[in-house]
């Protein structure tokens, strides 16, 4: 296949996914997220007098300053649009860890949008943005009984075939969100563990035949950005978990693209440490 044809297919696909993702966000309810503590007696999902859908999230960092609070309350539509426009190869390739999308990419968007944010302000805004990008996808997965929620959780309180007895055959978005929050504990770690871009990519991929999809995936891998210190730091906790679970470091020759990327990050960190040690010795 001609390289330009593959490149055009990649770009067209990413534009289509970006547009669909933005449309889904535009049609979403007006969410307001709050930090849910142990023993909180409020309903995990409730609608306030302004008509906003309040959702409790464990471990959520609430805006620490009036400026950060104003951004969360007034500017999230603009930030969501910027996130959708940021759809590119680095967030959907097979070797991308979810944290790269939810932590690194979203942090860059927040910091580039506002000057002089403190680290706590930027992180609180990023967490709210990640929740907005992922809450719908998480609820949909749970409603359809996939591996996140499982059929027993996703269909709890539902009628035949997972349908709400009081709803139309297609579960409303609010119904899905309420079911999801009611049957499992929602926390910021779960939100950060999902790549909001990847699900749209996987759905769109089904429209391509196998040879074309393989070429598209190869093109994405070939055009990946080089490892950066920021990405390596984001991946470091995942590398540590991998070593603890597997009893070995990630293999750079693994057939799993994500494990190969972790190995690249591991090598990057070790190289940087050695460089700094030499510089200190000199």
Taking the alpha carbons of 241, 246, 247, 250 in that order, is the dihedral positive or negative?
negative
What pLDDT is stored for residue 87 in this prediction?
A: 76
- φ, ψ of residue 24 in degrees (nearest 5): -60, -40
Residue 114 has pLDDT above 90, yes or no: yes
Residue 143: pLDDT band with limits 50, 70, 90:
low
Provide the 3-class DSSP secondary structure of residue 35.
strand
Domain residue ranges of the chain, discontinuous segments joined by +: 3-225, 226-282
The pLDDT value recorded for residue 149 is 39
pLDDT averaged over the chain?
77
The pLDDT of residue 166:
42
Give the C-alpha separation, 33 to 61, whole Å.
10
Is residue 122 predicted with pLDDT exceeding 90? Answer: yes
pLDDT attached to residue 182: 64
> What DSSP string describes 103-148?
IIIHHHHHHHHSTT--HHHHHHHHHHHHHHHHHHHHHHHHHTT-TT
Going by pLDDT thresholds of 50, 70 and 90, the confidence category of residue 41 is confident
Q: According to the model, what pLDDT value does residue 219 have?
A: 62
Using the predicted structure, report yes or no on whether residue 157 has a pLDDT greater than 80: no
- Higher pLDDT, residue 148 or 212: 212
The pLDDT value recorded for residue 85 is 83
CB atoms within 10 A of CB 261: 25
Sign of the alpha-carbon torsion through 59, 63, 68, 72: positive
| Residue of 138 and 184 predicted with greater confidence | 138
Residue 37: the pLDDT is: 85
Q: Which of 20-34, 68-82, 161-175 has the highest average model confidence (pLDDT)?
A: 68-82
> How many whole angstroms separate alpha carbon 160 and alpha carbon 158?
7
What pLDDT is recorded for position 184?
Answer: 62
Q: pLDDT exceeding 70 applies to what percent of the chain?
A: 73
CA distance 246 to 256: 14
Instruction: Please compute, for residue 91, the number of CA atoms within 13 A of its CA located in the half-sphere on the CB side.
Output: 23
pLDDT at 78 over 80: yes
Is pLDDT larger for residue 227 or for residue 69? Answer: 69
pLDDT band at 173 (very low <50, low <70, confident <90, very high): low
* Residue 63, token pair as written in the block: 């805006």
Q: How confident is the model at residue 216 (pLDDT cuts 50, 70, 90)?
A: low
Grade residue 65 by pLDDT with cuts at 50, 70 and 90.
very high
Average pLDDT over residues 77-84: 89
Q: How far is CA 60 from CA 8, 81, 100, 141, 173, in A?
A: 40, 22, 19, 21, 22
Instruction: Give the C-alpha separation, 1 to 211, whole Å.
Output: 9
Task: State the DSSP H helix or E strand holding residue 78, giving kind and residue range, or none if neither.
Answer: helix 76-85
Cα 241 from chain centroid? 19
Say which DSSP state 224 is in.
Answer: P
- pLDDT at residue 3 is higher than 50: yes
pLDDT category at 227 given cuts 50, 70, 90 is confident
Strand duo 53-57 + 45-47: pairing: antiparallel
What pLDDT shows up at residue 63?
95
């Amino acid at each position: 296949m001609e390289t330009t044809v593959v490149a055009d297919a990649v770009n067209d696909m990413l534009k289509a996914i970006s547009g669909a993702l933005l449309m889904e966000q535009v049609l979403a309810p007006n969410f307001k997220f709050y930090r849910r503590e142990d023993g909180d007696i409020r309903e995990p999902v409730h609608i306030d007098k302004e008509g906003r859908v309040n959702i409790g999230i464990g471990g959520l960092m609430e805006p620490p300053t009036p400026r950060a609070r104003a951004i969360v309350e007034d500017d999230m539509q603009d930030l969501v649009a910027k996130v959708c426009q940021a759809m590119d190869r680095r967030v959907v390739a097979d070797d991308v860890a979810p944290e790269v999308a939810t932590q690194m990419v979203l942090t860059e968007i927040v910091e580039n949008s506002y000057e002089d944010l403190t680290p706590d302000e930027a992180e609180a805004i990023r967490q709210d943005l990640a929740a907005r990008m992922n809450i719908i996808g998480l609820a949909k997965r749970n409603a359809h009984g996939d591996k996140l929620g499982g059929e027993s959780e996703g269909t709890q309180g539902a009628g035949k075939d997972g349908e709400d007895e009081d709803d139309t055959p297609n579960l409303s978005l609010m119904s899905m969100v309420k079911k999801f929050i009611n049957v499992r504990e929602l926390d910021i770690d779960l939100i950060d563990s999902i790549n909001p871009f990847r699900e749209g990519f996987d759905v769109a991929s089904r429209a391509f035949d196998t040879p074309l999809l393989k070429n598209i995936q190869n093109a994405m891998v070939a055009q990946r950005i080089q490892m950066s210190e920021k990405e390596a730091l984001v991946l470091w906790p995942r590398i540590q978990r991998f070593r603890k679970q597997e009893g070995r470091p990630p293999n750079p020759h693994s057939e799993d693209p994500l494990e190969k990327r972790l190995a690249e990050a591991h090598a990057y960190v070790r190289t940087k440490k050695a460089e700094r040690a030499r510089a200190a010795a000199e």
